[in-house]
Amino acid sequence: MNSTRIIKNTHHLVESLLKAGIIHVDKRRVTYPVAVSWKNPKDEWSKLKTDGALKGCGLVARGGVIRNKLGDVTWGFYDIYGTCSILEAELKAVAIGLQLCWQKDVQKVWVEVDSSAAMLLCNKQNKGPWDVQYILESIHQNVNKMEVQFSHIWREENKVADWFANKGYTKNVSKWYKELIYKVFVRGLIRMDKLGIASIRMMERTS
C-alpha cells in the first residue's frame, strides 16, 4: 500500500470516528480585541443605560443614566438595594429607569443593559424565575405607556451606568441627579462617549 492510499484511508477513518463521536477535536480558543463605542439614538429618542453591581458582602446596588441623542446625561440615579440576586438588581435598575423616563416625559426610550439575561426578560423572550415577576410586571407596564426598545451591550460600553451603580455603595442612599455635577472621572467617561472614543472588548472564538 503506497503512502497516498495510507493517508486517504487514515482520513476516512478519522472522519468516521468523528461522526460516531468516538473522538473529539479540541478546538483552540483565540482571544481578539473588538472596539466598542457609544451609538447615538435617533432623533427624539433617548437612551436609558442601567447596571447592577454586586459586592462580596452580598449587598447589591443599582444605577443608570438617561442620555439624549448627543450623549449628554439628562438624568442619573443610584441607590443601594440590600441583598438579592444580580439579575434582580439589573431588572430593578431598568424598572426605576423607565419610571424616571415616564415621570420626566421621555416618551421614546432605547434601553441598553449589559446583562443578556435581563435583556431577554425585558423583551419577553424568556419568562424568568418567579422572584423577578413583580419587577417584570412593572417594566412591562411602563413599556406599554411609551415607545421602548431593548438591546444588549458589553460592559465596556456601559461604563457611565456602572459608575452610578457603584456610587450606591459609597453613599448608601437613593440619589437622583439632573445636572452634570458629577466627579471629574465620570465626566471624562461621558465626554469620551460623545467624542466616539472606543473601548476595547476582548472576545473569544474557536479556531
Predicted confidence (pLDDT) per residue in 129-156, tens digit: 898 999 999 999 999 999 999 999 999 9
In a domain, 10, yes or no: no
The residues facing 33 across adjacent strands are 202
CATH number at residue 169: 3.30.420.10
Mean pLDDT of the chain: 85
Q: Which of 4-18, 50-64, 159-173 shows the lowest mean pLDDT across its residues?
A: 4-18
What would the grid cell of residue 69 be? 441623542
Question: For position 6, what pLDDT does the model report?
Answer: 62
Q: Say if 118 falls within a structural domain.
A: yes
Q: How many domains does the chain divide into? A: 1
Count Cβ atoms below 10 Å from residue 74 Cβ, excluding itself: 18
* pLDDT beyond 60 at 181: no
Which pLDDT score is estimated for 178? 54
Q: Is residue 108 part of a domain?
A: yes
DSSP percent split of the chain into helix, strand, coil, nearest 5: 40, 30, 30
Cell 448608601 belongs to residue = 172
Q: Is the pLDDT of residue 182 over 70?
A: no
Please, what's the largest Cα pairwise distance for the chain?
82
Structural domain includes residue 191 = no
Q: Looking at residues 182-188, what average pLDDT do you find?
A: 76
**Structural domain includes residue 140:** yes
β-bridge mates for residue 152, sequence order: 113
Mean pLDDT over 17-43 rounds to: 81
Q: What is the pTM of this model?
A: 0.80
3-state secondary structure of 161: helix
* Rounded Cα–Cα distance for residues 191 and 196 (Å): 9
Q: With contact defined as beta carbons under 8 Å apart, do 202 and 33 qualify?
A: yes
Contact between 62 and 165 (Cβ < 8 Å): yes
- Would you say residue 196 lies in a domain? no
Cα–Cα distance, 84 to 102 (Å, whole number):
26
pLDDT value of position 180: 47
- Whether residue 14 lies inside any domain: the answer is no
Average pLDDT over residues 81-108: 91
Residue 18 has pLDDT above 80, yes or no: no
Least confident residue range of 44-48, 91-95, 175-179: 175-179
| Residue 115 belongs to a domain | yes
